[in-house]
Structure formats: structure tokens, C-alpha cells
């Protein structure tokens, strides 16, 4: 098998997991290619003689069987953005804390890859959001978790006028507005008071961030709808974050959001379900008195 490897380059203390992974893949005679930044990280501190590692190039990218994200959910999102619409399934090895997307723990790697090579795994499809700015469809942005519109500073609110298929929904006054996929419903949206959405549900959720009005509540809409946002801000600009990566734009920039034309494919262990993940990662339904 051929694997594309993406990893966390900020925590050198977790390099032991990279060495463990390379030993496992060497055992099966797999080919390993790393993203350029992770390749430099591996060369700077790890003994890659354990298993030869190449740098992902155009040829390798076209012949990859699986991508591996070695880190937390942030690393997984980075891998998903790099993989794009190629359809390559992504394996998430969790060396972080919660790990909703990266749900194979480091101590499960040996067992997991044995099962993978035997063909015992499942692949789940996850929908994404497409963002177009000012009707410029030649440079779309894609988010697996969420797209967030927020104010630049802490001194004033922004107004986010929102329409759904051309019909006015609301003008959100507050710190901002986030639009999340079902995958992103357990991330920022959940922290802001949004609902948990089953990953394969065909919906998006709109969650206001610190709304000025107490009667504003999250709303779930079908993902075949098109959203359009226009923003007014006291300082004349606002921030747009795509899966946590922020850029600044002038007010009255038009944002069009809809379901992306492709999905991200996520590899899961046999027997792993969303409800099991909720119970395991979030202590869902656990009685604190027990």
C-alpha cells in the first residue's frame, strides 16, 4: 500500500508515535510519502532509516491508497484540505486530546493496521461547505468543520444579514455567526450552544456567536439550500475563518455558502460508530454519580 503522511510539526515530544508508525508500515512493506513540512520535521528529529520516507509529489499524489493524519483533529483538517477532492480516504491517528475525527489511538495503531491490511475497515463520507466570495467561483474555499464570520475587535458587534435561497432569515447581531457541517457540529458550534448532528445527516447548522438578542437560537437547515451573507461592521472589516484559518475582508463583501460538490472520506475501525464515539469521547449519557 501507499500512504501519504501528515503530522503535527509543533510537538516534538510526540515524535515517538511517528517512529512507531513507520515501524508498523515497514513491517508490511508499505510505501510512505510525507507532506513537505512533515518530511522536514521527520528529518530534523526522527530516525527515518526505520522506513524510507519520500516527499509527496504529483506522481505519488495520484497513486496514494490512504492518507494518514498523525496528531489531533486540527492535523486531520489540514490533511483533508491537502487531499481535497481526490477521494483518498483519510486515517486519523489521535495523539492529541479529544480526537473526534482522529479516533484511532496511538496504542491501537498496530492492531488497526493489521486489520486495514486484511481489508477490515469502513469508509464514511463527510460533507463539506463551499464558500464563494463576491461571486468569484474560480477561487472557492472548502470547510469540513465550519465557516465562521466574526468581528475584528472586542469593542463592537457586527451585523450578519443572512438569506436562505434568497429569502431573508435573520440579521444576526453579535460577535459573529458560524455555519457548521454535521462533522463540525461537535466542534466550535457545540461550544457556542449548537446541537450535535449525526454525521451522515443532510443538513447544516447556523449558530450565532454571543448574539445580542436572547431570542436567537441555532437553526438546522437542509444542505441543498444556498446561504448568502452580507456583513456590516463598525470598523469596516470582518474575519472569515475556514476550519479555523482566518482572513480579513472589507464589509459588504458577499459570502455565498452551499454544499461542496465532493465529500471527505474518513476511515473508521470496524465496529466504530458515532454513538460509541460520543460515549467514549464526551462521556455521553454517563451518570456522574456512578
Where in the sequence numbering do the catalytic residues fall? 73
Handedness of CA 251, 252, 257, 262 (dihedral sign): negative
SS3 154: coil
Q: Around Cβ 176, how many Cβ atoms within 10 Å?
A: 23
Count of positions (residues) in the chain: 290
| Residue 128 CA: distances (Å) to CA of 2, 80, 115, 246, 257 | 25, 10, 28, 17, 10
Q: Which residues contact 85 (CB under 8 A, 6 or more apart)?
A: 261, 262
Helix ranges (DSSP H) in 32-177:
36-45, 58-62, 73-83, 109-117
| Residue 252 CA: distances (Å) to CA of 97, 209, 249 | 38, 19, 9
SS3 36: helix
Q: Which residues contact 91 (CB under 8 A, 6 or more apart)?
A: 66, 67, 68, 69, 104, 112, 116, 267
55-62 long-range contacts (CB < 8 A, ≥24 apart) are 56/4, 57/33, 60/2, 60/4, 60/33, 61/4, 61/86
Amino acid at each position: 500500500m501507499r500512504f501519504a503522511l501528515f503530522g503535527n510539526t509543533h510537538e516534538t515530544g510526540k515524535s515517538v508515535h511517528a517512529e512507531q508508525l513507520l515501524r508498523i508500515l515497514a513491517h508490511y512493506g508499505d510505501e510512505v510519502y510525507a507532506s513537505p513540512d512533515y518530511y522536514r520535521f521527520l528529518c530534523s528529529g526522527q530516525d527515518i532509516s526505520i522506513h524510507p520516507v519520500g516527499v509527496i509529489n504529483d506522481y505519488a499524489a495520484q497513486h496514494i491508497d490512504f492518507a494518514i493524519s498523525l496528531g489531533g483533529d486540527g492535523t486531520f483538517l489540514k490533511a483533508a484540505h491537502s487531499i481535497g477532492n481526490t477521494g483518498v480516504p483519510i486515517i486519523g491517528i489521535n495523539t492529541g486530546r479529544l480526537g473526534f475525527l482522529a479516533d484511532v489511538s496511538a496504542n491501537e495503531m498496530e492492531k488497526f493496521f493489521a486489520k486495514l491490511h486484511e481489508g477490515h475497515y469502513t469508509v464514511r463520507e463527510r460533507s463539506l461547505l463551499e464558500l464563494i466570495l463576491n461571486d468569484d467561483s474560480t477561487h472557492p474555499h472548502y470547510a469540513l468543520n465550519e465557516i465562521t464570520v466574526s468581528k475584528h475587535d472586542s469593542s463592537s458587534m457586527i451585523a450578519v444579514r443572512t438569506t436562505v435561497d434568497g429569502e431573508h432569515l435573520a440579521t444576526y447581531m453579535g460577535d459573529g455567526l458560524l455555519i457548521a457541517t454535521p462533522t463540525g457540529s461537535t466542534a466550535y458550534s457545540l461550544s457556542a450552544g449548537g446541537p450535535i448532528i449525526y454525521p451522515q445527516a443532510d443538513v447544516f447548522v447556523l449558530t450565532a456567536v454571543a448574539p445580542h438578542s436572547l431570542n436567537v437560537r441555532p437553526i438546522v437547515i437542509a444542505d441543498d439550500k444556498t446561504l448568502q451573507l452580507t456583513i456590516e461592521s463598525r470598523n469596516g472589516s470582518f474575519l472569515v475563518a475556514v476550519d479555523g484559518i482566518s482572513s480579513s475582508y472589507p464589509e459588504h463583501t458577499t459570502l455565498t455558502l452551499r454544499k461542496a460538490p465532493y465529500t471527505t472520506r474518513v476511515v473508521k475501525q470496524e465496529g466504530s460508530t458515532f454513538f460509541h464515539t460520543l460515549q467514549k469521547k464526551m462521556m455521553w449519557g454517563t451518570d456522574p454519580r456512578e
